[in-house]
Copies of this chain bind each other. A is one copy, B any other.
Amino acid sequence: MTPTKPTIDTAALARDRLARLRAGLAEQPYDAIVLTEPESVLYATGYRSMPGQVFRTHRMAALVTVTDLWLVAPAADVPAGATVVPVDRISPFGRFYVESTMPDPVTEVADRHDGLAPALAAAVATLPSSARLAVETRDVPADVLAACGDVVEDGAGLLFSVRSRKLPAEVELLAYAAQLAEAGIDAALAAAGPGTTEAELAAVVAGTMVAGGGDPRFVVALTGERSALADAVPSQRAWKPGEIARFDVGCVVDGYWSDIGRTAVLGEPSARQRDVYSAVRAGEDEQLAAARPGLSAAELFGIGLDAVARGVPRYRRQHCGHGIGLSIYEPPIVAPSVGTELAEGMTLCFETPYYELGWGGMMVEDAVVVTSGGVELLTRSGRDLRVVEA
How far is it, in angstroms, between the C-alpha of A229 and the C-alpha of B203 when the chains are bound?
31
In the complex where A48-B233, A210-B216 touch, is A316 in contact with B53 (Cβ < 8 A)?
no
In the complex where A210-B210, A213-B203 touch, is A355 in contact with B99 (Cβ < 8 A)?
yes
Q: Are B213 and A97 in contact (CB under 8 A)?
A: no
Q: Are A232 and B328 in contact (CB under 8 A)?
A: no
> In the assembled complex, which residues on chain B have CB atoms less than 8 Å from the CB atom of A99?
314, 316, 354-357
How far is it, in angstroms, between the C-alpha of A76 and the C-alpha of B230 when the chains are bound?
7
In the complex where A54-B328, A55-B329 touch, is A101 in contact with B207 (Cβ < 8 A)?
no
Bin the interface of chain A by size. Answer: 35 or more
Provide the A192-210 mask, 1 if CB < 8 A to any CB of B, else 0. 0000000100010011001
Q: Does A271 belong to the interface (CB within 8 Å)?
A: no
> In the assembled complex, which residues on chain B have CB atoms less than 8 Å from the CB atom of A357?
79, 98-100, 102, 104, 106-107
Contact residues, A290-322 vs B (CB, 8 A) = 314, 316-318
Q: Are A216 and B216 in contact (CB under 8 A)?
A: yes
Closest beta carbon of chain B to A297's beta carbon, Å:
16
The count of identical subunits is 2
Q: Does A385 belong to the interface (CB within 8 Å)?
A: no
Name A215's contact: one of B48, B216, B354 (CB within 8 Å). B216
> Which residue of B is nearest A335, CB measured?
B95
Q: Are A211 and B220 in contact (CB under 8 A)?
A: no
Q: Does A30 belong to the interface (CB within 8 Å)?
A: no
Q: Are B50 and A218 in contact (CB under 8 A)?
A: yes
> In the assembled complex, which residues on chain B have CB atoms less than 8 Å from the CB atom of A250?
54
> In the assembled complex, which residues on chain B have CB atoms less than 8 Å from the CB atom of A231?
50-51, 54, 76-77, 80
Q: Are B358 and A101 in contact (CB under 8 A)?
A: yes
> Which residue of B is nearest A75, CB measured?
B318
How far is it, in angstroms, between the C-alpha of A328 and the C-alpha of B104 when the chains are bound?
31
Q: Does A83 belong to the interface (CB within 8 Å)?
A: yes
> In the assembled complex, which residues on chain B have CB atoms less than 8 Å from the CB atom of A210?
203, 206-207, 210, 216
> In the assembled complex, which residues on chain B have CB atoms less than 8 Å from the CB atom of A203?
210-211, 213
Q: Are A101 and B356 in contact (CB under 8 A)?
A: yes
How far is it, in angstroms, between the C-alpha of A54 and the C-alpha of B100 when the chains are bound?
38
Closest beta carbon of chain B to A232's beta carbon, Å:
4
Q: Are A229 and B354 in contact (CB under 8 A)?
A: no
Q: Are B98 and A54 in contact (CB under 8 A)?
A: no
> In the assembled complex, which residues on chain B have CB atoms less than 8 Å from the CB atom of A38?
56
Top 6 nearest A-B pairs by Cβ distance?
A80-B232, A97-B316, A50-B231, A100-B357, A206-B210, A98-B355
Q: List 6 A-B contacts (CB under 8 A).
A: A79-B355, A80-B230, A95-B318, A206-B215, A210-B216, A215-B216
In addition to A50-B232, A102-B358, A203-B211, 11 A-B residue pairs with Cβ atoms within 8 Å of each other are: A79-B228, A83-B229, A97-B317, A99-B357, A100-B356, A100-B358, A101-B358, A110-B318, A203-B213, A207-B207, A210-B210
